[in-house]
Amino acid sequence: MLKTHTHRSNSVNLTFPGTSIIVGVSSSATFATAISRQVASVKKRGGRRIDDHKLQYTRSSIKASISTSVSTFTTVKGVISVGPSITGVLSSVTVGLIGTMADCVTDILGNSFVLELVSANLDSSGKEKETVKASAKSVGFDNESKLYKYECEFRVPDEFGKIGAILVENQHRKEAYIKNIVLDNGNVIFPCESWIHSKYDNPDKRIFFTDKSYLPSETPVGLKVLREKDLESLRGNGEGERKSYERIYDYDTYNDIGDPDTDSDLSRPVLGGDQHPYPRRCRTGRQSTSTEPWSESRMAVPFYVPRDEDFSELKEITFGATTLFSVLHGAIPTLESILTDADKGFSLFKDIESLYDNGVDVDLTISGLLNVLPTLLRALTSAARNVLQFETPRIKDRDSFSWYRDEEFCRQTLAGLNPYSIKLVTEWPIISKLDPIVYGPAESAITKEIVEQEIKGFMSLEEALEQKKLFLLDYHDLLLPYVNKVREIDGTTLYGSRTLMFLTSTGTLRPLAIELTRPPNNGNPQWKHVYTPCWDATGAWLWKLAKAHVLAHDSGYHQLVSHWLRTHGSTEPYVIATNRHLSKMHPIQRLLCPHLRYTMQINSLARLALINAGGTIDTSFSLRKYCMQLSSDAYAQHWRFDHEALPADLINRGMAVEDESAPHGLKLTIEDYPFANDGLILWDAIKQWATTYVNHYYPQPNLVESDQELQAWWTEIRTIGHGDKKDEPWWPQLKTQQDLIKIVTTIMWVSSGHHSAVNFGQYDFAGYFPNRPTIARTKMPNEDPTAEEWEAFINKPEDLLLESFPTQIQATKVMSVLAVLSSHSPDEEYIGTNVEPAWAAEPTIKAAFEEFNGRLIELEAIIDSRNNDPNLRNRSGAGLVPYQLLKPFSGPGLTGKGVPYSISI
């Protein structure tokens, strides 16, 4: 409520009894003129308010009675906090608020922003009350908050009622980022966190609501029209090219990752639709390419995202989108200009070591590289030369040979960068689902005899299956359709692969066999071979090469499916639908908002230079130009919303079973599974927070089903955002509180815990690329070798392994990108740390958030304790990188821990 600062003002009520006069009668006109003069005189003398609607003219009488009443006003001070904006964030970086001389004059004259208060109530006749206006004047820069401050004063009539919204018009010629608007020393708060367009770009006023959340049915009557109007302003009409200052959320297919106008080899299929199902992205409305009308041109750089999806506050320019753009368009082209031979690999392992020990000679003044290097890599500058020197990844720093060992190869499936692929073997023999007429015999070449030979009499195959001892990395069916097509591209090769592992009595995994398969081609039959750990030299080297191929497959699956598709790609439709259908005052919008920030911005940069034709992934991973097509196949075959919840994912892969007596209601198949052990605690904390929140705003089940905004939101996610899956039976219904809790918990988990688990360890595990090569460039030496090929392998097998690894350009490109993607900004928004204004405004919600924060602090201590437990051999041991990717909090930089709210890098 507002504090009362009352100013009394006499009001003059002029009353004329009788019937209304006919306009135009001279005596009445003369009288009206006299009255007007008297009114002007009264206003001039006493500042009294005239209620014009009480003036009545009569033919029968010219008497006027002037009655005096008292009307009170409350003077309300308003403070606008405006963030310094980043101009040209993806090119040159300049900081400031005022962009033109005209804007400077606007600030000096005190007309920077025009604000209008909107009452939450209607007047006595059922109409909206008139707004109360004020102009805000600049009062300078606040050093403590690092924000510009603007102040104004409103004179609010006491009968105005409760303030429910505020309208803002930006008088500058440049957009401004408003963090919040505070009235009456904090008694009324408008959380804004939004860019405000200039009135010269768009005359429509921006609408902001207070920090009080309302379901649609509970919306104060005076705000219902504004609530719908604000949502409509975000939806657009699906036409035209979007402008940079707009905030329009609409859907489109991935029809912009190709660049056919530049080169026909850069043409890519549209992702989204019957042929290549995929989640939808945000529509930009750019023109079509001249060669492919179904493809969107890439002329506009950077790509449009709704203005509020851009980085909202002045972040350290050495991090985030700016750094990524600088690396992709500055560092990588510079490296390519130095490493001129695109096919040149590393001749010796010491050449790989020199990337960390000696660095690469480079001109650091090119493309502003000095501005981004502190977060990317180490720079050593001397009078003689400039050097780019990569940070030593943690896995190499702790144990230079860990990448070479079988036990680490297996351990990383549970406590590494991609813990989402390993699954329990439940059926034998292992059978492909692909058409044997096209791809050859379906049964795996990993036989019972091979398995029992490797487990050396510990148990039979049947006993191993019954006791849940066999686990699999299976990239056979997903990769095999691409093998022949990929092999037509110079500088790469491909197999379908299966890797079988055995759970030992100590809880660790041991590799048993790797199967590599090539389908029939050019009249040649299917080729497949099973490799096992060997004690002879030739077999041992073949085993090492087979592991390199599997690691390249796992790297591609990790980046394209576990990371991009299941977090970045699948989340963008949630962002779009949330803004289109959940009002800014909707409690679920406010619950999800921190989890959806900045995702569309980072996704647009990925389409610009990472997942696009000719981008880093397209040129440096085994699938090459088929990378995103494989991601589409994985979406079509495997993606299910209900399996994106962590418990459901673990159960689906056979890594857990439901057990009410077990912690989290699940019994893990491998007890020491670091990702699952830590992830389930985080999942439960998120779910408990969501449960309290949802039950507070939806105390009865019928409120969920009757919430029109919520139902429209969920319908659009299913039928448009993920429209290629709209007819699937597994979509959760949305009828009860429990339905809503499951849905929002899944979205919150995917954007926080899931993304962090597969993102922030990328440099630690893959920055030393022999541990996780992104590509295997040469075929296995025993696949139809010539005499010369086999002799070369026998004479110097190490050369073949180095030739199989990425080229110098591929390796340094990927390392540069991973260093940025794995870094936290200094002002990272970690889950459970910053309480949103709307949460703080509601005591029950604030208390629930504090409990949520407390559980996350406990998780920090639990993870530290687990990493120091010598009995947990998958996370504790000599030279091991401790598993801490799901520790909620972190400092800035390459830390290998920390769980931000959202997918912001």
Using one digit for the tens of pLDDT, what is the confidence trace for 495-528?
Answer: 999 999 999 999 999 999 999 999 999 999 999 9
Q: Is the pLDDT of residue 758 over 80?
A: yes
The pLDDT score that the predictor gives to residue 145 is: 85
Using one digit for the tens of pLDDT, what is the confidence trace for 410-421?
Answer: 999 999 999 999
Q: Is the pLDDT of residue 87 over 70?
A: no
3-state secondary structure 816-856: HHHHHHCCECCCCCECCCCCCHHHHCCHHHHHHHHHHHHHH
Position 41, amino acid: S
Position 382, amino acid: S
The pLDDT score that the predictor gives to residue 24 is: 33
Cα(511)–Cα(533) distance, integer angstroms: 8
Residue 470 is inside which H or E element, if any?
strand 470-474
Give a yes or no: residue 471 inside a domain: yes
The percentage of the chain sitting over the pLDDT mark of 90, rounded to a whole number, equals 73
The pLDDT score that the predictor gives to residue 169 is: 97
Q: How far is CA 679 from CA 137, 662, 690, 844, 884, in A?
A: 49, 15, 16, 26, 11
**Contacts for 168 with CB less than 8 Å, ≥ 6 apart:** 113, 114, 115, 178, 181, 196, 205, 206, 208
Cα(209)–Cα(191) distance, integer angstroms: 8
What's the angle, vertex CA 131, arms to CA 51 and CA 85, rounded to 5?
150
Question: For 253-271, what is the mean pLDDT?
Answer: 96
Cα(395)–Cα(896) distance, integer angstroms: 11
Which of 200, 231, 262 finishes a domain? 231
**Contacts for 810 with CB less than 8 Å, ≥ 6 apart:** 619, 620, 774, 775
The pLDDT score that the predictor gives to residue 323 is: 64
Q: How many C-beta neighbours within 10 Å does residue 658 have?
A: 10
Q: Is the pLDDT of residue 257 over 80?
A: yes
Position 752, amino acid: S
Cα(874)–Cα(508) distance, integer angstroms: 6
Give a yes or no: residue 112 inside a domain: yes
Q: How many C-beta neighbours within 10 Å does residue 24 have?
A: 7
User: 769-802: string of b/e by CB count within 10 Å (b at 16+)?
Assistant: bbbbbbbbbbbbbbeeeeeebeebbeeebeebbb
Confidence of residue 633 (pLDDT cuts 50, 70, 90): very high
Q: Is the pLDDT of residue 903 over 50?
A: yes
Position 241, amino acid: E
Sign of the C-alpha dihedral computed for residues 235, 245, 324 and 98 taken in this order: negative
Q: Which two tokens stand for residue 847?
A: 């208390």
Using one digit for the tens of pLDDT, what is the confidence trace for 562-595?
Answer: 999 999 999 999 999 999 999 999 999 999 999 9
User: 211-233: string of b/e by CB count within 10 Å (b at 16+)?
Assistant: bbbbbbeebbebbeebbeebbee
Give the DSSP letter string of 304-321.
P--GGGS--S---TTSHH
Active site residues: 563, 568, 755, 759, 905
Q: 358 or 845: whose pLDDT is higher?
A: 845
Longest dimension (CA), the chain: 122
Q: How many C-beta neighbours within 10 Å does residue 457 have?
A: 7
Residues 191, 567 contacting (CB under 8 angstroms): no
Q: 128 or 46: whose pLDDT is higher?
A: 128
Cα(573)–Cα(281) distance, integer angstroms: 7
Cα(580)–Cα(892) distance, integer angstroms: 34
**Contacts for 340 with CB less than 8 Å, ≥ 6 apart:** none
Confidence of residue 170 (pLDDT cuts 50, 70, 90): very high
Using one digit for the tens of pLDDT, what is the confidence trace for 762-820?
Answer: 999 999 999 999 999 999 999 999 999 999 999 999 999 999 999 999 998 899 889 88
Q: How many C-beta neighbours within 10 Å does residue 523 have?
A: 5
Using one digit for the tens of pLDDT, what is the confidence trace for 663-691?
Answer: 999 999 999 999 999 999 999 999 999 99
Report the range of poorest mean pLDDT among 84-88, 91-95, 216-220, 292-296: 91-95
Where does residue 123 rank: exposed (0-12), middle (13-18), buried (19+ CB within 10 A)?
middle
The pLDDT score that the predictor gives to residue 456 is: 85
CA 374 to chain centre: 24
Q: Which CATH number fits the domain that encloses residue 509? A: 3.10.450.60
Residues 605, 309 contacting (CB under 8 angstroms): no
Residue 210 is inside which H or E element, if any?
none
Q: Is the pLDDT of residue 315 over 80?
A: no
Give the DSSP letter string of 338-357.
HS--TT---SSHHHHHHHHH
Q: Which CATH number fits the domain that encloses residue 179? A: 2.60.60.20
Give the strand pairing for 470-474 and 496-503.
antiparallel
Confidence of residue 387 (pLDDT cuts 50, 70, 90): low
Give a yes or no: residue 68 inside a domain: no
Residues 364, 386 contacting (CB under 8 angstroms): yes
Give the strand pairing for 85-87 and 94-96.
antiparallel
Q: Any alpha helices (H) in 610-720, and if so which ranges?
A: 616-620, 627-638, 646-652, 674-697, 701-705, 708-716
Residues 347, 802 contacting (CB under 8 angstroms): yes
Where does residue 422 rank: exposed (0-12), middle (13-18), buried (19+ CB within 10 A)?
buried
The pLDDT score that the predictor gives to residue 641 is: 98
Residues 121, 222 contacting (CB under 8 angstroms): yes
Nearest partner of 843 among 692, 674, 734, 623, judged by Cα: 692
Give a yes or no: residue 97 inside a domain: yes
The pLDDT score that the predictor gives to residue 108 is: 54
Q: Is pTM beyond 0.95 here?
A: no
The pLDDT score that the predictor gives to residue 338 is: 67
Nearest partner of 877 among 402, 209, 289, 369, judged by Cα: 402
Give the strand pairing for 49-50 and 6-15.
parallel
Domain count, the chain: 2
The pLDDT score that the predictor gives to residue 326 is: 60
Q: At what angle do helices 537-557 and 627-638 cross, to 10 degrees?
A: 80
Which pairs with CB-CB distance under 8 Å and at least 24 residues apart come from 234-243? 234/306, 234/579, 234/580, 235/580, 238/283, 239/285, 240/285, 241/284, 241/285, 241/286, 241/287, 241/300, 241/304, 242/283, 242/284, 242/285, 242/304, 243/201, 243/304
What's the angle, vertex CA 687, arms to CA 684 and CA 689, rounded to 5?
110
Which of 745, 764, 790 finishes a domain? 790
Confidence of residue 242 (pLDDT cuts 50, 70, 90): very high
3-state secondary structure 250-269: CEECECCCCCCCCCHHHCCC
Which of 203, 231, 259 finishes a domain? 231
Position 795, amino acid: N
Residue range of the domain that includes 164: 73-231
Using one digit for the tens of pLDDT, what is the confidence trace for 719-741?
Answer: 999 999 999 999 999 999 999 99
Q: Which two tokens stand for residue 253?
A: 């297919």
Cα(759)–Cα(885) distance, integer angstroms: 9
Strands (E), 16-64: 49-50
Q: Is the pLDDT of residue 42 over 70?
A: no
Q: Any alpha helices (H) in 363-424, and if so which ranges?
A: 369-376, 394-398, 406-415
Indicate the DSSP class of residue 753.
Answer: I
User: 312-344: string of b/e by CB count within 10 Å (b at 16+)?
Assistant: bebbebbbbbbbbbbbbbbbbebbeeebeeeee
Mean of the per-residue pLDDT values for the chain? Answer: 87
The pLDDT score that the predictor gives to residue 628 is: 98
Residues 627, 556 contacting (CB under 8 angstroms): yes
The pLDDT score that the predictor gives to residue 755 is: 98
Side-chain half-sphere of 93: how many Cα atoms within 13 Å?
A: 20
Using one digit for the tens of pLDDT, what is the confidence trace for 444-489?
Answer: 999 999 999 999 888 999 999 999 999 999 999 999 999 999 999 9
Residues 303, 284 contacting (CB under 8 angstroms): yes
